[in-house]
Amino acid sequence: MHFYKLPVALLCLFISTSCSSLFANYEIRSKVISGVRYVYLIDVKEYYGMKSKVNGKVVSLYSADHSLTLTKDSRYAKVDGKVLDLGYVMLLRNNDYFIAEKDLRLSIDPVYRDWGLARRAVNTIVIDPGHGGKDPGSHGLKVYEKDMNLEIALQLKELLVKVGYSVALTRNNDKFIKLANRPTMYNADLFISVHTNASTAKSVNGIETYFLTPPGMKSTGHKRTYYTRQSGNKFDGLNTRLAHSIHSELIDNMSARDRGIKRARFQVLREAKCPAVLLELGYLSNPSEEKRLLGVRYREELVISIVRGIVAFEKAVAADELLATE
């Protein structure tokens, strides 16, 4: 195996005139392992100015601002305390820990560095209540998913408008809309697809957030690596940051299990023309969680958390934030 410095494109991602002098000339080494480019975790630690500790198979990096928890031979991670499914496992080779370059560039760095994100105005948001009409989605003891999704979406639109956004719904009543049409119905700056979940095991509960699988990575729970680029892959780093911003607020503010930030190739994400996420806001198949979701106040808290996440994302990508660092 040969040793490499990161390609010029990746070094350009990490090295900026707005970066502190401590990191301005720091190079993150990489090497190819089993056909995948990995980077040295010790270099990642130094780049972000973090400390580290090892406890068995678990490696933790931490600083005053950020944290990263990784498990050897596992895709399970926590980024700033929130569960994230990586595209590749963390490896230990000859006493050196490695993470995939794509995970660093597309799953971790967009969360850590606001100034590394593309600048973007956020004015118009499309809310997509999943399912509808002849497609009921999942169900609980008292409600179909299509109806719950619409209730949450209507509350979400109301609050977003109050905050000052322009909002469009892909549906505002119980009607069926083809998946392919949903992400292209309106020109938007963000696309948020609202869903509730179900499982054959009634004990399963919690919130999970999906963004589009980047090319060359695996979707969560899948073994296949996808290389095809979709329309939604124009926003890979922004998709990650949007997912993390919303998911963090949901987990911090709701009494719900963190089921993680995950990747998927859902059609509404593949064909999105803007940063997009799909939210699974609870399990209707879990009687306790269904009961909470049926409560107006609980849904209000869900909606407030989503709006806070959107506002946090907008702040991270705002053009004036870039000017402030120069």
* Per-residue 3-state assignment (H helix, E strand, C coil) for 16-33: CCCCCCCCCCCCCEEEEE
Q: For residue range 85-123, what is the model confidence (pLDDT) as tens digits?
A: 999 999 999 999 999 999 999 999 999 999 889 999 999
Report the SS3 class of residue 147: helix
Give the separation between CA 138 and CA 129, rounded to whole angstroms. Answer: 13
Report the SS3 class of residue 100: strand
Q: Span 130-156, mean pLDDT? A: 97
Sign of CA pseudo-dihedral 162, 156, 167, 315:
positive
- Whether 187 has a pLDDT exceeding 60, the answer reads yes
Ramachandran region, residue 39 (left: φ > 0; alpha: ψ -120 to 50; beta: rest)? beta
Topology (CATH) of 3-116:
Copper Amine Oxidase; Chain A, domain 1 (3.30.457)
Report the SS3 class of residue 107: helix
Topology (CATH) of 124-320:
Aminopeptidase (3.40.630)
- Whether 58 has a pLDDT exceeding 50, the answer reads yes
Sign of CA pseudo-dihedral 149, 151, 156, 157:
positive
Strand partners, 31: 3, 38
- Whether 132 has a pLDDT exceeding 60, the answer reads yes
Say how many C-beta atoms besides its own lie within 10 A of residue 224's C-beta. Answer: 9
What interhelical angle do 236-253 and 296-317 show, nearest 10? 140
* Of 129 and 23, the one with more pLDDT: 129
Tokens at 278, concatenated: 């799909």
Q: What single DSSP character describes residue 200?
A: S
Residue 207: in which H helix or E strand, if any? strand 207-212
Q: Span 232-237, mean pLDDT? A: 96
The confidence band for 27, taking pLDDT boundaries of 50, 70 and 90, is confident
Give the separation between CA 317 and CA 262, rounded to whole angstroms. Answer: 21
Q: For residue range 274-311, what is the model confidence (pLDDT) as tens digits?
A: 999 999 999 999 999 999 999 999 999 999 999 999 99
Strand partners, 83: 78
Q: For residue range 203-219, what is the model confidence (pLDDT) as tens digits?
A: 999 999 999 999 999 99
Give the separation between CA 269 and CA 273, rounded to whole angstroms. Answer: 9
Average pLDDT over the chain, rounded to an integer:
91
Q: For residue range 39-52, what is the model confidence (pLDDT) as tens digits?
A: 999 999 999 999 99
Tokens at 11, concatenated: 């070094």
Tokens at 74, concatenated: 């596992």
Q: What phi and psi values does residue 173 have, to the nearest 5 degrees?
A: -150, -175
**Radius of gyration of the chain from its Cα atoms, rounded to whole angstroms:** 20
CA dihedral in degrees (293, 295, 299, 301; nearest 10)?
-120
Bridge-based pairing of strands 36-40 and 29-33 is: antiparallel
Strand partners, 90: 72
Q: What single DSSP character describes residue 108?
A: I
Q: Span 63-83, mean pLDDT? A: 97
Q: How far is CA 13 from CA 27, 29, 41, 97, 104, in A?
A: 11, 14, 17, 22, 11
The confidence band for 223, taking pLDDT boundaries of 50, 70 and 90, is confident
Could you tell me the residue ranges of all domains in the chain? 3-116, 124-320
